[in-house]
Amino acid sequence: MTKPGGWEQRLYMGLRLPGMDEPQLALARALGEVGVEAEFFLLLTGAEASLAGATRSVADQFLRHLDDSCRRICAVSASLEVATQGYLNALEARYPKAHLADAVAEPWWPTFSGFALTSEPLELRLRRCGYGYRHAIETQLGIAIEAIAEQLALTLHALYTLPPAGVLPIATLYHGLYELSSALQGHIVPHHITEASSESPGLMMGISLLRLLDAQEDHSLRADIVWVQAQLAQARETLARLGVKRNPLAALAHLGARQPQMVTPDTAAWVARSVRDWEDALTQLSALAREEQVVRR
């Protein structure tokens, strides 16, 4: 993903301020390490080639790479926090607090349009490799990966747009650096990488849970189809209890208008979307089952 004239060439020029050589070098190195890990993670999780082999060994290698990437991100995020604090302390020593505490200062990077993984859903790719679709859903791997990828893509966006030192107001540089570090070390790492709760596992725990479920439970395609059918039936039953027959979204919105304590527009949209999502999942898994039958023949 690195290209000529990319983010790595902007770090030293963007952080170079008089009398701050040591903290500048430390922060540039730390940001460089984060940038490298961000590129690797996005390439690993976003490329179709990552699980293109559709075999268990390919999936196991992918999961090992993913786990290793998480551990490196944790390490570089901790280093970034220390280096950022050192650089910000140096800024505070050199500039009046009024220059740094500008409440309306915004980070330097232009509006970030967001990031979306464009490859086939992770759960389906793992299913092709022999892992249970429902196990991938239950361990919330896709949710964690999307959150991590979003922040890492924003980080690269920030590095690609870092202007030379002196172009930015000091408060803008200060707030931007603080935001990058705190988002990674204060949110992404504890909540989406290392969180050990089984209700909302981070990616590392999710990988461990996936392996455990795979070893202890039926991970056959047929078991996945039966499970998805049950989820779809339950979602449809919910719609039926609410008196919804056709056009679920519109009907639920109408019901919510009459009984707002029961159904909100957000709830209506969520229930209707869940039905469509389970229908799509069932279609995909059924197609995969047909493909396997053709191969066996």
- From CA 148, how far away is CA 70, in angstroms rounded? 10
CB proximity list for 279: less than 8 A, separation 6 or greater: 232
User: Residues 176, 33, 93, CA angle at the centre, nearest 5°?
Assistant: 45
**What pLDDT shows up at residue 53?**
76
CB half-sphere exposure, 294, CA atoms < 13 A: 6
Give the number of residues written for the chain: 297
Q: Which of 198, 217, 42 is nearest to 131 (CA)?
A: 217
- From CA 236, how far away is CA 157, in angstroms rounded? 42
Q: What is the pLDDT along the chain (297 residues), one digit of tens a residue?
A: 444 348 998 999 999 999 899 999 999 999 999 999 999 999 999 876 778 778 999 999 999 999 999 999 999 999 999 999 999 999 999 887 756 766 567 899 999 988 887 778 899 999 999 999 999 999 999 999 999 999 999 999 999 999 999 898 888 999 999 999 999 999 999 999 999 998 899 999 999 999 999 999 999 999 999 999 999 999 888 877 765 554 544 444 444 444 444 555 566 567 778 889 999 999 999 999 998 877 666
